[in-house]
A and B are shown apart, each in its own frame.
Chain A
Amino acid sequence: MNQAYEVSHLLAGAMLVTSFALLYQERIAAVLNAFAAQSITLALAVAWAAWSQDRPDLFITALIALVLKGIVIPVALHRTVQRLGIHREVEKVVGVGIALVVGLALTGLAQALVLKVAHATASHAREELALALAIILLGFLMMILRRNAVTQVVGFMSMENGLILAATGARGMPLVVEVSVAFSVLITLFVFAVFVFRIRERFDTIDIEALDRMRGDRR
């Protein structure tokens, strides 16, 4: 039993590390690689949970995370970035240093909050939940601190990774939910893809700044 906890902790911790890696990358290609690494780690974590909790249905979730978010989406986004000719730097709102400090603070907050509140829950589920919340908050932070549409998409999907980790950490949560999460990611990607192309079509850029000039009320 203890070994099962250790491994799932290790994997959840590794995901948190990749969340930080997402925050400090300078190039979009590197951001996409870090995201792929996070998704593959998620797939491992879910697969481990499936094996150790004896819940074979979770293997489906792991497979979806591996194939879709670990391979298909990063490859597709790499291609998009190349075709649009924006494989340069990540446009940031604040510097890497501040982003990392805020990220650390959020991680601390997540740990303090969950460990304090969920004292009655099994220790394993509790710590996994704390790590998952930290990953969600870091994804949130990334969406706020990055100006580019592609990096915002990645920030959002990183949030989704955290959610799936939280859902698998909650023992016995019905499959309905995991399938729906995976399903939603699919739709999400579809919608995002449409927007990325449309934004390109209309503005010749995928910088969100360009959108801010279009504030509807000042027409």
Chain B
Amino acid sequence: MTEDLGTYAENTWCPGCGNFGILNAMKKAVEKLEERDIGRERMLISAGIGCHAKIYDYLNLSGLYSIHGREIATIEGMKLANPELKVIGFGGDGDAYGEGLSHLIFAAKRNNDITMIVHNNSSYSLTTGQMSPTSEKGYKGPSTPEGSIEQPLNPLMVMLSSGASFVSRGYAGKIEHLTDLIVEAVEHEGFSLVDVLQPCVVFHDDQYQKYNEAVEILEESAENRYEAMKLTEETERLPIGVFYKEEQPVYHKELYHDLNVVEDKMEQNKRIENVKKLLDKRR
């Protein structure tokens, strides 16, 4: 089944890249979602710019290949236009936690019904390995030859404090777990973040080893937002799974209830009549 989710595009990720794990997990997740009556015909994807984003060409799903950091706003627009659609955005750490961080924070704040999957490899790999928002202090790249002097961002903490209603972390090396995480994130009504530890074999050659040793599957989600925040600060072990999840009112429903401006578009004659009424009110 997953074969027909692929395309003819030549895969240009480096051998061993963590992105393969995410691609495979996504394909499996689509199958599982289809079993749960979320058909691929109403799934839309988007991606930013970077290694991660090539997933757009490798997945035989509809969508819009966006620009750096803006894929978050792109999928918000898709969902607002037609809430019947399930929208999934792929971003890199540079996209979602750098260039587009404001969009991510506000999508979480508003609880837009979108799913963001962030391929977090702590490096700007496609542009030759500069430091990223999640690079560790001391990270050496072409823009920081003496090592990064900045503290890394804790993206899950940012998301939790922005009011995100679904915050999770997966690992590209644990495909089954990541598959289930994606399914749960897509099924969650509201904003969902899946931060994925994605080893970069070129600019972070120790990541697989580090993650294989430290990653630990969470037995259950945190009871509240503050407990979840504590979990994000753990560095010795790296918990993966759903850190926190809650139900919140969803943006498009709060704004417009059940109206779907595309599917239930007001007929032309009705619209014209209503415009005429507005004109006549001032006569």
Q: Do A and B bind each other?
A: no
